[in-house]
Structure 1
Amino acid sequence: MIRKIAVTFFIITCINQSFQNEIKIYGPGLEPQKIVMPARYFFVNFTSFNEKYSPYLANDFAVEIEGNSIKNAHCRIWVNKLDRKDGTFIVRYKVYDTCLDLKISLYYKSKHIIGSPFKFNGPIQPDQCDCPHNNFDTWLKEYGCPTTYEQIDNDLIRYEDLDMNFQIEKIIKHYSKPESTSLCHYVVKDNLIYRKCYGKHVGFNMFSDNILLFLTRKVSLPDMELVINLGDWPLVHKTAQPLPIFSWCGSDDTIDILMPTYDITESTLENMGRVTLDILSVQGNIALNWSERYDKAIWRGRDSRLERLKLIDIARANPDLVNASLTNFFFFRDKEAEYGPKQPHISFFKFFDVSIIEIKT
């Protein structure tokens, strides 16, 4: 009997060990001594042996992250586990102190996953640190960034070997319209940022300021100049003289240099901070599996452009394809009787109940 129990225990142990060997753990949060992010994160993938997702998996999987700091006996660390409901998890954590060391412990059914605990020698810097890496290329490589993107190459190819002083003069002459257009001219010199803005409404420069300031605290940027359009609409029409203006959006009719929207950059910089709607948190708050979602485009927004009223017409003509409503009337109040009544806002996460497209402005 003792022999049978021992053999059974050995078999169960081997099976459990085999399962644990198949758990995949990867992501930039496993190199905290090199990679400093607003919120470090990594992925844990159980799908190799959990083919069918079970909500009990979230209870079986546990995470502990701890370390020691200079100021306190323990580092201040906030840990967040996001269940993607497909057998994979995102583990993200925010470090508030400089840690002398760090230990990440991952458990499945109260036992360490193979490789756990992961131990790192410090210093592990908090995201607020002013700790620029002195080599830009090495920094990109350590963060796992590609050397370039096709979109960037396509946007910049027409702007090689420019005299920026001359370009700035032309941009200001053609596009500095204080009542309707706002621009900021940035100069990065010796990893310090200088700017001059043009226009009446320049408050959105806080978004471009924040991303540039964050980067200069993490890496020594090369000297550069750039002009950023602070408006929501691209400026440089493809039939006009090409001028190097960065914008948050583009179109088939314009050739502005595209960059991520301020919503994306702010939610990244404030990840696990004052912003709760970010690329990672969305993945952990989706209610429906892909097979349960319905095939319909969904949109909510205010009446800031005539095209939005046209979208309401399209939705009413095609209710099986588009669910679109206005949440407020400001620019076209005389049209409220025709395009209303205005509808309440819905949770951002509800936009992911559809499988075709999610739009929110």
Structure 2
Amino acid sequence: PVTQISEASIHRHKTEFPLNCSPLNLTQTCPLHYYPKTFQIHHQKYKSVTCPEFFHWIHEDLRPWTETGITEEMVERAKSKASFRLVILKGRAYVERYKKPPQTRDLFTLWGFLQLLRRYPGKVPDLDLIFDCFDYPLVEKKDHLLVAPPPLFRYCGDDDTFDILFRDWSFWGWPEINIKPWESLLKDLDQGNKRTKWIGRDPYAYWKGNPFVAKHRKDLLKCNVSNTKDWNARLYVQVLILITPFHRDHWF
């Protein structure tokens, strides 16, 4: 039997895994023993903790392939819609890029995989993964009524598509608009909230982003200040697409 214990009873050991990925030195390599070969659990009680409740969404996301499994042919079919292909073999990551996404989304997503390999050495199984870094989900359910869909990962999904959701790249940072990794950003927000109490703030709603990726965002702009109306909303359009050259084949 599995014993479930409360989160409060666990003393969490915070371990940092720095990655030096400076673009100024493309020939650098990690020290010989930087990546350990085995993973050590820092707290014995972790061995008996049940999986978090949100893990059931993994099974939901993979439900379309319950009967068929995922074959190499399915993965190959996803290439036409993908930004890159990631293969992890014996703890080493290999990447093949197909198209350059906006900004540095692919770079920060791959950075997340490298941190995963660094954090859990020897625990990440071999895998072959296809990823698209654009917003709109593309694997339509209506197009795959009689055939299994290609397994394509991306940041967004909806009820009409089979795209497999993955953590947003901005979790690790969004430098084009000066957004720090979420953990650092959370600390900044906490400090900012302490400087001025809500009761003492100006009563304005502020939003900045790309309104052209969703109908609801376009509707939101109707609430912006105008010559005749002011609903205390300050809404700004920001559309940034940064395209940079890249080499087709990369390895980490």
TM-superposed CA distance for 1:277, in Å, is 4.8
Match of 1:130 among 18, 23, 35: 35
CA contact 2:171–2:182 (8 Å) conserved in 1: no
Higher RCO, Cα 8 Å, sep 6+: 2
Q: C-alpha deviations, 1:137-194, integer Å up to 9, x for none? A: x99947x783552332321222235243111222124x2xxxxxx5211111111111
Identity of counterpart residues, as a percentage?
19
Pairing 1:241-252 to 2, within 5 Å after superposition: 241=144, 242-252=149-159
* Alignment check: 8 A CA contact 1:132 1:218 kept: no
* Equivalence for 2:89: 189
Q: Deviations over 1:299-343 (max 9, x none)?
A: 1125554744432114459854x7242245789xxxxxxxxxxxx
Contact 2:152–2:164 (CA under 8 A) maintained in structure 1 = yes
Structure 1 spans left out of the alignment, 5+ residues: 1-25, 40-127, 176-181, 268-272, 332-361
How far apart, CA to CA, are the structure 2 residues paired with 1:330 and 1:156?
Answer: 33
Determine the structure 2 residue equivalent to 1:37: 16
Which amino acid in the other structure matches residue 108 of structure 2? F
Corresponding pairs, count = 202
- Inter-partner Cα distance in structure 1 for 2:60 and 2:202: 35
Counterpart for residue 158 of structure 1: 64
Matches within 5 A, 1:110-129: 129=34
- Look up the SS of the partner of 1:254 in the other structure: coil
Q: Which has the larger radius of gyration?
A: 1
Change over 3 Å in CA distance of 1:145–1:229 after alignment to 2: farther
Over 3 Å counting, the alpha-carbon distance change for 1:192 and 1:38 in structure 2 is: closer
From 215, 225, 232, give the equivalent of 2:135: 232
Q: Return closer, same or farther for 1:27/1:239 CA change in 2, 3 Å cut-off.
A: farther
Find out whether 1:211 has 2:112 as its counterpart. Answer: yes
Shift of 1:253: 3.2
Q: Residues 7-47 of structure 1, C-alpha deviation per residue, up to 9 Å, x if partnerless?
A: xxxxxxxxxxxxxxxxxxx698x554xx52359xxxxxxxx
Matched residue of 1:286: which SS? helix
SS in 2 for 1:239: helix
**Greater strand share, structure number:** 1
Structure 2, unaligned stretches of length 5 or more?
Answer: 1-7, 19-32, 175-179, 242-252
Aligned residue in 2 for 1:46: none
SS in 2 for 1:169: helix
Q: CA 1:302/1:208 → structure 2, altered by over 3 Å: closer, same or farther?
A: closer
Deviation of the 1:218 alpha carbon: 1.7
SS at match of 1:278: helix
Q: Is the 8 A contact 1:299 1:324 kept in 2?
A: yes
Amino acid in structure 2 at the alignment position of 1:326: Y
Asked if structure 2 preserves the Cα contact closer than 8 Å seen for 1:303 and 1:326, the reply is no
Alignment of 1:41-190 (within 5 A): 129-131=34-36, 133-134=38-39, 141=46, 146-147=51-52, 149-160=55-66, 161-173=68-80, 175=81, 182-190=82-90
Letter in 2 for 1:225: D
Alpha-carbon separation, structure 1, partners of 2:181 and 2:70: 40
TM-score normalised per structure 1:
0.44
* 1:216 Cα deviation after fit: 1.0
Distance 2:45 2:168 in 1: 21
Aligned alpha-carbon RMSD (Å): 4.3
1:213: how far off? Answer: 0.9
Q: Check conservation: 1:238, 1:253, Cα contact below 8 A.
A: yes
2:114 and 2:77 map into 1 onto residues whose CA distance is 27
Q: How far apart, in 2, do the equivalents of 1:139 and 1:222 lie?
A: 23
| Whole-angstrom distance in 1 between the partners of 2:107 and 2:50 | 25
In 1, Cα distance between the equivalents of 2:214 and 2:108?
Answer: 27
Q: CA deviation digits over 1:277-304, x for unaligned, max 9?
A: 5234323331455677788754112555
Alignment partner of 2:221 out of 301, 305, 312: 312
Q: After alignment, is 273-282 or 216-225 more displaced?
A: 273-282
Deviations 1:122-148 (A, max 9, x none): xxxxxx952354479x99947x78355
- Rounded to whole Å, the distance in 2 between the matches of 1:134 and 1:245 is 29
Taking structure 1 as reference, are residues 197 and 145 closer, same or farther at Cα in structure 2, changes over 3 Å only? farther
Counterpart in the other structure of 2:207: 299
Match of 1:323 among 222, 229, 233: 233
